[in-house]
Structure 1
Amino acid sequence: MSNIAVVFHSGYGHTQKQAEAVAKGANAALIAIDAEGNITEAQWEILKNAKAIIFGSPTYMGSVSWQFKKFADASSKPWFGQQWKDKIFGGFTNSATMNGDKHSTLHYFFTLAMQHSGIWVGTGLMPSNAKSAKRDDVNYVGSFAGAMMQTPSDASADEVNSGDLETARLYGERIAKIASQFHA
């Protein structure tokens, strides 16, 4: 492992696929927030020792899931001790519609990272915005702030877009690269 942690909640499995792609790119540990919004003490310790933390949640009603919010609220204990200060941060999200207010979720992650005195990393990926662009191109959804994925509401977790997963993987790679340069 590269001493990077991906902490995420996934309601239906779509965001888990995205988390797995980010983790693959970053060679990171996966920490799944459970259905009750909890992680284990051992997982809190992984976050404490990580050089980079990558947040992930589906976008529900314009923000993170309540399970992720519960995790974020529980992070006030590491916040009080400034345990995550100067760590590298990033984030990713998925929703059913192309826009889906995903930027609100990324802003939530950004604010949480800043409250923890962290350093945010964007995608570093140019958007696929030419007439020749195809839906499965890298960064087709066009986010600079963090990885965005769009999955139709009636699609299974096995039907997530390959370009969105590649965007997530490349984003994980970038975060790992920045973390290694910053902590060299």
Structure 2
Amino acid sequence: MTSANPKLAIIYYSATGHGTSMAARVATAAEAAGAEVRLRHAAETADPESFAHNPAWTANYEAHVGKPAATGEDIVWADAVIFGSPTRFGSPAAPLRAFLDSLGGLWSQGKLADKVYAGFTSTQTAHGGQESTLLNLYVTLMHFGGIIVAPGYTDPVKFVDGNPYGVGLIANRENITAFDDATADALDHLARRVVGVASRLA
């Protein structure tokens, strides 16, 4: 790491828009903390016809058309990376998993190591797999040789949202993209913490 103003890549997958909103919030907070930010989505792997019945999923997919998708170069460029994904049966969703699985060449060259990493997720229910999704993500990042910077309980906001592993949003069945103050504050804290640690390691 060589920059006093760290480079942060925010790489996320979002189906219906919750993750898109969370990633945008993290980006705003990170830029306010002094980071240079790249906001990148993991490319959709499902056929659009398969989710045509879901207006929120279709709208979010169409909103990403023409925007740059994440590549391994985004991680090589970055001093720190924050990943985001909804849970799929207790693990990161397939599009983010496919992106991570594509990084073997960079991993074998050591180009994913010694970077700060953290994550955020969303579930439809309170016990829908937030912890296991983040922990499964972090297992991969440990294989990278990454420096995992979880928020822990390093700020009073974490005693409100209660997630020491990252940030987790409890979404609802209407697929709204808004979230409560506790989640917003936790996302801001995660961004500041990752940027702060990356700055100290630079």
Give the deviation of 1:115 after TM superposition: 0.6
Q: Unpaired segments of 5 or more residues in structure 1? A: 129-136
- Partner letter of residue 21 of structure 1? R
Tell me how far apart the structure 2 counterparts of residues 15 and 75 of structure 1 sit (CA, whole Å). Answer: 22
Tell me how far apart the structure 1 counterparts of residues 69 and 87 of structure 2 sit (CA, whole Å). Answer: 26
Give the deviation of 1:140 after TM superposition: 3.3
Query: Is residue 170 of structure 1 aligned with residue 189 of structure 2?
Result: yes
The one of 4, 11, 17 aligned to 2:21: 17
Give the conservation status (yes or no) of the 8 Å contact 1:89–1:120. Answer: yes
The one of 134, 138, 141 aligned to 1:110: 138
Map residues 19-168 of structure 1 onto 2, 5 A cutoff: 19-27=23-31, 28-36=37-45, 43-125=71-153, 140-157=160-177, 159-168=178-187
- Count how many residue pairs are aligned between Structure 1 and Structure 2: 173
Give the deviation of 1:4 after TM superposition: 0.6
Give the deviation of 1:76 after TM superposition: 1.4
- Write out the 4+ residue segments of structure 1 that deviate beyond 6 Å after TM superposition: 39-42
Q: Matched residue of 1:59: which SS?
A: strand
Q: TM-score, normalised by structure 1?
A: 0.84
Give CA deviations for 1:100-141 in whole Å, capped at 9, x if unaligned.
11111101221111110010001144687xxxxxxxx76634
Give the deviation of 1:96 after TM superposition: 1.0
Give the deviation of 1:43 after TM superposition: 3.8
Tell me how far apart the structure 1 counterparts of residues 121 and 11 of structure 2 sit (CA, whole Å). Answer: 12
Over the aligned positions, Cα root-mean-square deviation in angstroms equals: 2.3
Give CA deviations for 1:124-183 in whole Å, capped at 9, x if unaligned.
44687xxxxxxxx766341111111111122411x3223212211111111000000011
Give the deviation of 1:75 after TM superposition: 1.5
What is the percentage of aligned positions where both structures have the same residue?
Answer: 25
Q: Matched residue of 2:160: which SS?
A: coil
